[in-house]
């Protein structure tokens, strides 16, 4: 069982403060000009808007939670404990990021960019739960950054893919005028925190761990998959 060090928590708190400061500055001086520029140069129906809007489908959680659960079941049937835990860790990350994103959305009640041009609304309507007032943070960006942060360490060779996927999702949400830039900044930070928390929870319980060199099962000396079959209970009797 591993413990989370105090320096890690302090670093996390420092990053949270920096993100909060960046969001406050962006809300005051950056978000509105960007939204107006996008509305003028990438209006609905333009090629940039259509591409960005379609790319948002790659951030929907159901396309990843269901396959990860299916993978967990398959690895459980094949008695591959390490891969089963990895699949469940991905599922838990997606679920936690989605729930945390919704929670913050309903607290802040920020007006979406569409409200700026249809109802002349800009700002926050605290504890509003309807869709036009759920802009902060971006749910798609939260989910994708959470998954990308987890996969960043699970599959180090594919890090450029995970980084590009996450950044493109953040940009697409701004270009499609579903969110302001600070919505995606806050979402990216939240997603990374969620992934870190899920990883820390799995490591603390001794279920799984991720190191800079890749995935590691704390109960096995193996640095990568799969977990040897002779570590399964009763496997020596087969």
The pLDDT value given to residue 2: 46
The pLDDT value given to residue 234: 39
Whether 229 is in a domain gets the answer: no
Whether 236 is in a domain gets the answer: no
- What's the pTM value of the predicted model, to 2 decimals? 0.82
Position of tokens 């708190």?
A: 13
Whether 16 is in a domain gets the answer: yes
Whether 232 is in a domain gets the answer: no
The pLDDT value given to residue 1: 44
The pLDDT value given to residue 8: 66
- Divide the 238 residues of the chain into consecutive groups of 10 and give the mean pLDDT of each group: 57 84 93 94 91 89 84 88 86 92 93 91 88 92 94 89 95 95 96 90 74 48 38 40
DSSP letters spanning 21-70:
HHHHHHHHHTHHHHHHHHHHHS-TTSHHHHHHHHHGGGG-THHHHHHHHH
The pLDDT value given to residue 217: 47
CATH classification at residue 76:
1.20.144
The pLDDT value given to residue 216: 53
Whether 153 is in a domain gets the answer: yes
Count of structural domains within the chain: 1
The pLDDT value given to residue 209: 56
Whether 235 is in a domain gets the answer: no
Whether 152 is in a domain gets the answer: yes
Residue range of the domain that includes 198: 6-223
């Amino acid at each position: 069982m591993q413990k989370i060090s105090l320096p890690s928590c302090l670093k996390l708190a420092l990053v949270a403060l920096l993100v909060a400061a960046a969001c406050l500055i962006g809300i005051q001086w950056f978000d509105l000009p960007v939204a107006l520029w996008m509305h003028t140069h990438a209006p609905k129906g333009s090629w940039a808007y259509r591409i960005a809007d379609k790319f948002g489908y790659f951030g929907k959680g159901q396309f990843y939670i269901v396959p990860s659960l299916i993978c967990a079941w398959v690895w459980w049937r094949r008695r591959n404990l390490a891969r089963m835990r990895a699949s469940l860790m991905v599922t838990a990350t997606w679920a936690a990021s989605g729930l945390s994103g919704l929670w913050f959305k309903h607290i802040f009640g920020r007006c979406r960019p569409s409200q700026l041009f249809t109802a002349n609304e800009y700002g926050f309507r605290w504890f509003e739960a309807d869709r036009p007032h759920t802009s902060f943070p971006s749910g798609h960006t939260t989910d994708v950054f959470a998954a990308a942060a987890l996969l960043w360490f699970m599959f180090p060779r594919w890090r450029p893919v995970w980084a590009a996927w996450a950044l493109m999702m953040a940009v697409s949400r701004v270009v499609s005028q579903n969110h302001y830039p600070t919505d995606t900044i806050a979402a990216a930070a939240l997603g990374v925190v969620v992934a870190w928390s899920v990883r820390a929870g799995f490591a603390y319980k001794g279920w799984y761990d991720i190191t800079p060199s890749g995935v590691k099962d704390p109960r096995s000396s193996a640095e990568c998959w799969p977990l040897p079959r002779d570590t399964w209970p009763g496997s020596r009797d087969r």
